[in-house]
Structure 1
Amino acid sequence: MIIVVSSDTVGEYAYSKSCGSMELPVERLRLSGTEIYQNGGVAAEHPRCSEIGVQMMEMGGNAVDAAIAGLLCVGVVNNFAAGIGGDASGAYEVIDFREAAARSAHQDMFNKNTTLATDSTLGMGVPGEIRGFATAHARHGKLPWAALFEPSIRLARKGFPRFKNKLLKSKGMRETYFHKDGRPKEVGDFIYRRNLARTLGKIAKNGPDIFYSGEIADHIISTVEDDQGGITKEDMMSYEVKIREPVVAEVAGFKIITPGAPTCGPLIIQILKVVEKLGLGSPENVTTVQKIIEAFKFAYVDRMQLGDPDFVAHMDDLVAKIISDERASEIAPRIRKCDSHGTTNLVASDKYGYGVSAVSTVNLEWGNRIMDYETGIIFNNQLDDFSIPKMNNSFGLPPSEANFIMPFKRPLSSATPVILERDGKVFMVLGGAGGSRIITAVAEMIIRVVMLGMDPDKAMDSCRLHHQLIPDVILAEHRCDSALLKKLSGIGHTIIIMGAEQTSTSVNMVLVNGAGIVPISDPRKGGLAAGY
């Protein structure tokens, strides 16, 4: 999913191929919140991908070009989180290229064996990313299509250090991530994805049709059929990108712009409106934290009603109610006081006024852990994001009838790309990754920076708390203050503290102020931002 905000006055762009070097000048990468750039900034989950995005701007491109090139890079080096076998959600405009269920899909298909939703190609949705990138590029891009692919093609061909460990299952995965003697490659060992480099080269040369109706589609379908999956060539050929209107609301003097259903963007607006009505104290105050947590819980009540607007009647009316002042006024008095008992994100902004927040994912880490041997594409398992009757999903969320599987339907996503404007200009662009915890992490960042006035770097490094109503527990990072957690426990909360090795969520952000552009990548996934 990509959400794009563009200014009315966009400058001239000149393409200079000489700027397209793949070398990574470390001095350009930001290491703290003090770095301010005048021309553009990109915050991604991998330093190379932030840098590639900035290179696109230096070559004369805009933030849309930077976002596409950066996400292609993430699909090469951080392929446990994103890739062209997945999706993403980009005047205000939302470009929805969420995966869609196959024609053969139905709501009871995983009732007898729920692991098929996560561990087989039966749980794979028709991938939308390449068609989505092409749509965004055609509507907003400035650089040649092929130029956006060149850095990632070189990276896949020449190799890169392994970034993360995970068990893998298919032949393509084994040959990429294991040594010839059968030993798994360790973090730091070089990974070569030459088959993916060839695939990206073909898409760069021939455009998206080769992916959806040409030889790449044939290879994908062959692997899917071998695994007894449900996607057909006809499903690939019929995939369509949706151009949707974003949801827009005023909160705390800012204009909040975010996608509507089938994302959870409307819940961000509701949380912010409820918190604004309640009023907040200091960031460390237990009363402040309690108000935020309770606002989270009410948002997850309304999440149960969200689904694909092309399949669920009156979804626009429901979203309008969720983000309304009236709904916030209903919730605020019901917030329990302290004396009671009881899913790859990239953001970019440029000097021309473009702000882009893009989310790409293969759902769970490494998707279904199946790689097509010929193309190097890792398949998603996005059908797990649908609700299975009488079953919680992989993130512990209960089933919702609005999100049951239907042919061609798009599953509800916790993705919440958000853009904030102040006085008609982009002020903040952000989004997150981490499944159902994305909603609360993104909301926390906005609350801390905009409503509590925290320094952006301090807000990024602060402890994150998550509550999704069911299960009725607070999930807390290990860095959280023990005294605060004890107070929350004392007012009736059950708290689970994550281990130091566990990553809760990753939030990337770009701030734009009078001094310039400040990109900030979340250190939780090893990210570094870049600018120029």
Structure 2
Amino acid sequence: MGVPGEIAGLHEAWQQYGRLPWKSLFQPAIKLAKDGFVVAPYLALSIAESTKILNDPGLQKVFAPSNKLLKAGDVCYNADVRKAGGIIKMEDLKNYKVRVTDAVAVDAMGYTIHGMPSPSSGTLGMSLVMNIFKRWSQLRDHGTSHLCIVDGERNAVSMTTTVNYGFGAGLLSPLTGIVINNEMGDFSAPTEISDDQLPPAPANFIEPNKRPLSSMTPIIVTKGNQLAGVLGGSGGLYIIPAIVQVFLNHFVLGMEPLHAVLSPRVYHELIPNVVKYENWTLLCGDHIELADQRKDFLRERGHELNAHAGGAIVQLVVQSLQNPIKRKTNVGDNTVIHGMLTAVSDLRKDGRPAAA
């Protein structure tokens, strides 16, 4: 497992910008841990499909009490956990250093995208795609969990958090009941050579005190120094192409936020040389499938297509910059626009928080 740094990062943000007492911020999470929460349909599906739960006593206690997997509507809580082992020590957590860096800023289609620097590859990936689109005149002719927050003062947060695979390493940590991540799998290894995968990258080989390459793409979008939107997603390698497509759908092609998120997507992992297109029925009963016209468009250009019942999950908040209310801030003479906010939670994950 990799040394978890999320709490350290949140604490650093709280020290700089927080207003509420640190202790009080944990009360909702403590209540959920003690009293439990109702299993949502998406989480129930993940539990049913997982092969890890019944193989670990800690996971089994939480997600399969009495040796029966929890189903939608059941109450999930952590009544008991067992020591799972591992080499992480309290010293490792105490020595974790938060790196506060400036966001990478990319100009794209009249907007500025603010995102994470390396080892996150999402911002770089979006920049590459946008530079390609600048030279493609047909764009306008043809038209892991993540949360987005915008507050009343138009402060914005785009945060992706992950344990890598579903249920992480398939173990619960000692004493805490936290699912142990398997982030070490995001590193490259010299022996990982395969005909159907990209070759291992020496820059991403395992070293102490090093963060692995990530597909995380938490993005804040501005226009004229005003907030235009916040987006990000979950779904491993599918995150970057999903975020690019949602960004183009709304900010470039003018789709309404809900349509921008729900619009069928395509994915390409470079190796194998196949275009995956969405074709799946969601838990709510809606069906998402790429239009035949777009499939034909891709085939005519020599692409091999495969239907894919899955994809990234995208969260989106946008602010209308038309006819807004303008308010002075307490810092200098800056004016902050307060336009209408619209938030969309991807129906691919049932349109609500669902864990997993």
Q: State the TM-score, normalizing by the size of structure 1.
A: 0.56
Partner of 1:524: 348
Q: 1:272, 1:447 within 8 Å by CA — same for their partners in 2?
A: no
In the superposition, relative to structure 1, how do residues 480 and 270 fare at CA in structure 2: closer, same or farther (>3 Å)?
A: same
Distance 1:231 1:177 in 2: 24
Partner of 1:301: none
Alignment pair present for 1:428 and 2:252: no
Distance 2:65 2:183 in 1: 30
| Mapping of residues 139-178 of structure 1, within 5 Å | 139-162=16-39, 163-164=43-44, 165=47, 166-167=50-51, 168=53, 169-178=55-64
Partner of 1:33: none
Partner of 2:301: 491
Partner of 1:352: 153
Distance 1:238 1:369 in 2: 25
In the superposition, relative to structure 1, how do residues 156 and 234 fare at CA in structure 2: closer, same or farther (>3 Å)?
A: closer
In the superposition, relative to structure 1, how do residues 189 and 387 fare at CA in structure 2: closer, same or farther (>3 Å)?
A: same
Distance 2:69 2:35 in 1: 20
Alignment pair present for 1:128 and 2:128: no
Partner of 1:191: 76
In the superposition, relative to structure 1, how do residues 392 and 462 fare at CA in structure 2: closer, same or farther (>3 Å)?
A: farther
Q: 1:465, 1:476 within 8 Å by CA — same for their partners in 2?
A: yes
Q: CA deviation at 1:510?
A: 0.7
Partner of 2:273: 472
Q: Which has the higher strand share?
A: 2
| Mapping of residues 284-363 of structure 1, within 5 Å | 285=142, 343-363=144-164
Per-residue CA deviation, residues 228-252 of structure 1 (Å, 9 max, x unaligned), is: x443443233211111111112222
Q: Which has the higher helix share?
A: 1
Structure 1: any 5+ residue segments left out of the alignment? 1-123, 197-218, 289-342
Q: 2:38, 2:72 within 8 Å by CA — same for their partners in 1?
A: yes
Distance 2:342 2:75 in 1: 32
Distance 2:139 2:111 in 1: 20
Higher relative contact order (CA 8 A, sep 6+): 1
Q: 2:58, 2:84 within 8 Å by CA — same for their partners in 1?
A: no
Q: State the TM-score, normalizing by the size of structure 2.
A: 0.83
Partner of 1:398: 199
Alignment pair present for 1:259 and 2:259: no
Distance 1:253 1:184 in 2: 49
Q: CA deviation at 1:223?
A: 3.1
Alignment pair present for 1:460 and 2:261: yes
Q: CA deviation at 1:392?
A: 5.8
Secondary structure of 2:185's partner? helix
Q: CA deviation at 1:467?
A: 1.2
Q: 1:398, 1:470 within 8 Å by CA — same for their partners in 2?
A: no
Distance 2:79 2:17 in 1: 30
**Matching residue within 123, 128, 134 for 1:276:** 134
In the superposition, relative to structure 1, how do residues 373 and 383 fare at CA in structure 2: closer, same or farther (>3 Å)?
A: closer
Alignment pair present for 1:246 and 2:132: no
Distance 1:369 1:521 in 2: 27
Q: 1:434, 1:505 within 8 Å by CA — same for their partners in 2?
A: yes
Q: CA deviation at 1:195?
A: 5.8
**Matching residue within 179, 186, 190 for 1:385:** 186
Secondary structure of 1:450's partner? helix
Structure 2: any 5+ residue segments left out of the alignment? 280-288, 325-338
Partner of 1:506: 313
- Which aligned segments of 4 or more residues in structure 1 are displaced greater than 4 angstroms? none
Distance 2:176 2:31 in 1: 16
Q: CA deviation at 1:126?
A: 0.7
Per-residue CA deviation, residues 194-235 of structure 1 (Å, 9 max, x unaligned), is: 569xxxxxxxxxxxxxxxxxxxxxx9xx633xxxx4434432
| Mapping of residues 50-65 of structure 1, within 5 Å | none
Partner of 1:116: none
Q: CA deviation at 1:130?
A: 1.2
Aligned residue pair count: 316
Q: 1:223, 1:372 within 8 Å by CA — same for their partners in 2?
A: yes
Q: 2:62, 2:79 within 8 Å by CA — same for their partners in 1?
A: no
